[in-house]
Structure formats: structure tokens, C-alpha cells
Chains A and B, each alone.
Chain A
Amino acid sequence: MLLECNKLCKYYGDKAALNNIDLQLERGKIIGLLGPNGSGKTTLIKILSGILTPSGGEVKISDKNIGIGTKKIVSYLPERTYLSDWMTVQQTLNFFKDFYDDFSMETALDMLQRLDIQTSEKLRTMSKGTREKVQLILVMSRNAELYLLDEPIGGVDPAARDHILKTIISNFNENASVIISTHLISDVENILDDVIFLKYGNIVLHSTVDEIREQNGKSVDALFREVFAC
């Protein structure tokens, strides 16, 4: 098992962002983490990446507690720009190469070339969308075991979304899994193996995309609109 959460919870004051979550994920899957705003998607991803401390429960990634051991095998893309703006693209590549043993410079350079991004360019001079593409390239150029992508296509134009999704599919191996949190369900539906619906910090559905289509006769997007209808 790649990921195991037992009775995982996170409270902000009295409010529960995650409420005793039990979750097990296998390797070799692309999993959609879906839910409306405030459902706990980002909180769960932040706990798995180690930047948020859970209020209770247990998390194990590849049988390791969250710490340096998991940071070596988890590749995390937050929903915000986390790279220093004084850096050039080349410096960000060097930074990842310096700190992550599983980072592939060749893969990153190849993806940058395909997206026509110059390595000499400074992040400060780039548009928000281009910076997000650079971040995604860095994250997907790691040979990680678990990729955590928080809204990876939220800030980019529709034309670039297909390329990004292709990048995600082509850059993870069967030993790894990808968790994608997004509101743009119809855009990612075709690449998902499993989906998790989160509502008020609880898992209300954990199923394969094929099961949803067979049992409900609906797309994931249609089922999401039904489950989370206001």
C-alpha cells in the first residue's frame, strides 16, 4: 500500500477540516481528489506533504511516518507559486537537482523546450501561468512515488491544460500514484483511475471511475454536480 490514513483529523479551532478520515491508496493510480471549496482537499494534501500537522490520527506513506523519509518520495505541487522570484529557470532546476536525488534534469529540460520556456528567463519576469508550468515541470521531473498536485491546471489556459495532463500521464511510473485536487473535473476526468469525493472533511465516495460510469450511468462530472448540488 502506498498511502494509509487512519482516523486522520485536522481542526482549525473548533471547526473540523478533516474528520476521522480512513483512506488507503495503491500504487500505479491517478486519483482525483474532488470536493467543493472548504471540503478539506488542500488540508489533506498539505498534511501528506508535511507542511501541516494533523490534530489526530495516523498517516503513512510507503510505510513511513511523515518526515524526511516521505519528503524524499513525495513530489508536491501547491496551488500557489513557491519558487523564489529572484531565480532563473536554470537556477530552479539546479535547486531541485541539489536537493532531490530523484530529479531528472533531462526530463525537465525536454519539457521546458516543448513548452518553449527559456532556462535563462527569470521567474520575476514570467506570467503567473508560465511560472505554474515551470513548477509543474519541476515536480513532474522527479521520479517520486507519490505526486500531490493541488489545482495543477487552475491557473493555465485551456490550450495548455491538455499538455499539462499529458505531462502528468507520461511522467509517472507504475510504482507511483498521483493525487490531483481540482474543480475542473471535466478536464481531468479522462485521465483519472479513481476518485475521492470530500464533503465537510469526510470522504463521501471512494470509487473507480469505471465503477461510477457502470453503476450510476453518469460521468464523474455529472455525479459530482449531483452529490454537491446546492
Chain B
Amino acid sequence: MLIKLIKYEILADYKKYGIMGIAIVALAILALISEKTAPLYGSSGYGYSNFISAVFAISSVFIIFAASILLIVLSTIRFYKSFLKDEGYLMHTLPVHTWQLIASKLITAYIWFLFLLIISAVYVTILNGNITWIKDFSEGFSVGFYGESEYFLNSLMISSLISVLLTPFSYLAHIYFSFALGNLFSKNKLAMSVVMFLAINFAERVISSVLMTAYLVSINVDMTLTEITNSNTLLSIVLSVIYLIAAERIFAKKLNLE
């Protein structure tokens, strides 16, 4: 049943993400064409080319963040519409477990996240004209942490990568839990979901800061950047799992569709 749910989740949104992917790749190709054809317009063409190059160089840095934000927004809208609005009347009367409904949305969001990561990589590769940007990226790390050991750099890169990959997971778990808490109110469920989202976010940051400070001060003052990243990631995973379990229990036991 989970596979079937994922299939229909993908069918519901593949056009949106497909168009997004095509638009990003087309943009990169357009930038490349502009850059290559600039010399044909003489000296003014070079100025134009430099401007275009600068704009797209900046955009390549931000595209992964933009794609992640877009993914969170689209996934949230999809969850709200298909879980708590009219389509929820069908989804919640299907003979499937609540955890399967939630898991299908989370897994599908990750499929689109990976798709957008690949598209972002294609975008940067087209703009660079080659794949040496991967090497440049790792060299950037070496410059940023000059003097550190190779082991430190590798472990920090892996920790950072895991942290980036887990970002949608923690955000979506947080959002699903907020919607579940909002569902417990008899009125203004959407507004209460937003309030819950902000309240959880605040509480999470306070707890995280307190734990981290306590750990750094009293236990291990020599904690490395990698350990800090790993601790944050671990805390994020634990909290996300708790949010998902709580959301599943609330939707399974206290569902009240308007």
C-alpha cells in the first residue's frame, strides 16, 4: 500500500517539479549561451557577459537553498491539501495505516529533494562548463579551515553533507507535528498550526542552546566543529523522530477533519 500511495503522490506533483527542473536547466543553458556569444558584440559584450556571469555565479550558490525552500513550501501545501482539506476525506478513508500516509508524503518529498539536488548539480555543472566545481568546493573547505588535518576536513564535510540531507526531514517532521497539534483545536486549526510551528521552533532552539552550552562548558570544552555539527544533527534526528511518532499518534487517534 505504501508503494501505491507514493505512486499517487508522485503523480500529483511530477509536473510542478518537472517544469521547475526544466526551467533551472534552461536558465543555465541561457546563461552559457549569453556568455559564449558575448564576444560577438565587441567590448560592450564583455561587460554584459561579466554581469551575466556574476549574476549566475551568485545564483549557483543560492540555488540549492532556493530549491530546498521551494520543496518545503510545495510539500507543506501538498500535505495540508491532501491530509487536512477536502482530499483528506478520501485519504483518511482509505484502508491504510496513518503511518503509511505520513511516510508516503515524507518519502515522496525526499524523492523530489534528491531530484532538485541533481538538477542543482546539473545547473552548476552547465554554468561551469565542467564538473571541477566539486573539486573547487572541497578546496574551498581546505582554504576555510587552513591548517586542519585531512581527517578533520573529511569528517566535517561528511557531517555537513548529512546535516544538509537531513534538513528537509527535520523541517517536514516539524511541520507535520505542527499540523497535528493544530488539528487538536476545535477552531482556527490552520492558524493554530502556525502558532504551534513557531512555538515548537522557539522551544527547540532554547533546548538546543541550553544543551549545547551545558555540554561545552561542563563536559568538553575542546569539542570540535565536527562534533558540534554531529551533536546538532543527532538532536535534530531524535526530535524529528519524536515529532513524527507524535503526529502519527494524533492523526490516528484524534483526527477531526473540518
Q: A51 near B93 (CB under 8 angstroms)?
A: yes
- Chain A min CB distance to B1 (Å): 7
B16 shortest CB reach to chain A, Å: 10
Contacts of A83 in B (CB 8 A): 87, 90
On whether the beta carbons of A52 and B256 are closer than 8 Å, the reply is yes
Q: Shortest distance in angstroms between B34's beta carbon and chain A's nearest beta carbon?
A: 35
- Expressed in whole angstroms, the Cα–Cα distance for A13 and B184 within the complex equals 11
Tell me which residues across on chain B come within 8 A of A51, comparing CB atoms: 88-89, 92-93, 255, 257
Complex contact A80–B8 (CB within 8 A): no
Asked whether, in the complex, the Cβ of A84 is within 8 Å of the Cβ of B96, the reply is: no
Known: A12-B186, A91-B11. A74 touches B255 (CB 8 A): no
Find residues 35-82 in chain A having any chain B CB closer than 8 Å to their own CB: 46, 49-53, 68, 71-72, 74, 76, 78, 80-82
**Residues in chain B near residue A49, CB distance under 8 A:** 93
Q: How far is the CA of A50 from the CA of B95 in the complex (A)?
A: 10
Within 8 A of A (CB), among B1-55: 1, 4, 8, 11-12, 15
* Chain B, range 102-132, C-beta contacts under 8 Å to A: none
B97 at the binding interface (Cβ < 8 Å) = yes
The reply to whether A84 and B82 contact each other, CB–CB distance below 8 Å, is: yes
> Interface of chain B, helix or strand or loop or mixed?
loop
* Chain B minimum-CB-distance residue to A70: B95
List 5 A–B pairs whose Cβ atoms lie within 8 Å, in order of A's numbering: A51-B88, A53-B255, A81-B86, A82-B86, A99-B95
User: Interface size on B (CB < 8 Å)?
Assistant: 25
Complex contact B12–A68 (CB within 8 A): no
Apart from the given pairs A51-B255, A71-B94, 9 other A-B contacts in the complex at a CB distance below 8 Å? A13-B186, A50-B93, A51-B257, A80-B86, A82-B87, A82-B90, A84-B87, A99-B1, A99-B95
Contacts of A99 in B (CB 8 A): 1, 4, 94-96
Smallest Cβ distance from B6 to chain A, in angstroms? 12
Query: Is B249 on the interface with A (CB-CB < 8 A)?
Result: no
Nearest chain A CB to B90's CB is how many angstroms away? Answer: 4
Find out whether the CB atom of A100 lies under 8 angstroms from the CB atom of B256.
no
Give the complex CA separation of A71 and B90 in angstroms. 11
- A residues near B253, Cβ cutoff 8 Å: 53
Query: Is residue A86 within 8 Å, beta carbon to beta carbon, of the partner chain?
Result: yes
Known A12-B186, A49-B93: A95·B88 in contact at CB below 8 Å: no
Complex Cα–Cα for A53 and B1 (A): 24
Residues of B within 8 A of A (CB): 1, 4, 8, 11-12, 15, 82, 86-90, 92-97, 186-187, 253-257
With A13-B186, A99-B1 already in contact, the answer to whether A53 and B254 are too (CB < 8 A) is yes
Given A51-B255, A99-B4, A76-B97 contact (CB < 8 Å): no
Identify which of residues 159-175 in chain A touch chain B, using a CB-to-CB cut-off of 8 Å. Answer: none
Is A106 located at the chain interface by the 8 A CB criterion?
no
Contacts of A76 in B (CB 8 A): 89, 93
Complex-state Cα separation, A79 to B86, whole angstroms? 10
User: Given A84, A86, A98, which contacts B4 in the complex, CB threshold below 8 Å?
Assistant: A98
Q: Which residues of B contact A82 (CB under 8 A)?
A: 86-90
Give the distance in Å from the alpha carbon of A100 to the alpha carbon of B93 in the complex: 11
Q: Complex formed: what's the CA distance from A114 to B187 in Å?
A: 43
A84 near B12 with CB under 8 A, answer yes
- CA of A81 to CA of B87, assembled, Å: 8
Smallest distance from the beta carbon of A51 to chain B beta carbons, Å? Answer: 4
CA distance A91 to B97 in the complex (A): 22
B93–A71 CB distance below 8 A: yes
Q: How far is the CA of A159 from the CA of B161 in the complex (A)?
A: 62
User: Would A100 and B12 be within 8 Å (CB), given that A53-B253, A82-B87 are in contact?
Assistant: no
The residues of A that contact B4 with a CB separation of less than 8 Å are 98-99
CA distance A86 to B15 in the complex (A): 10
Measured CA separation A74–B12 after assembly (Å): 25
- Tell me the bound Cα distance from A13 to B188 in angstroms: 13
Q: Are A100 and B82 in contact (CB under 8 A)?
A: no
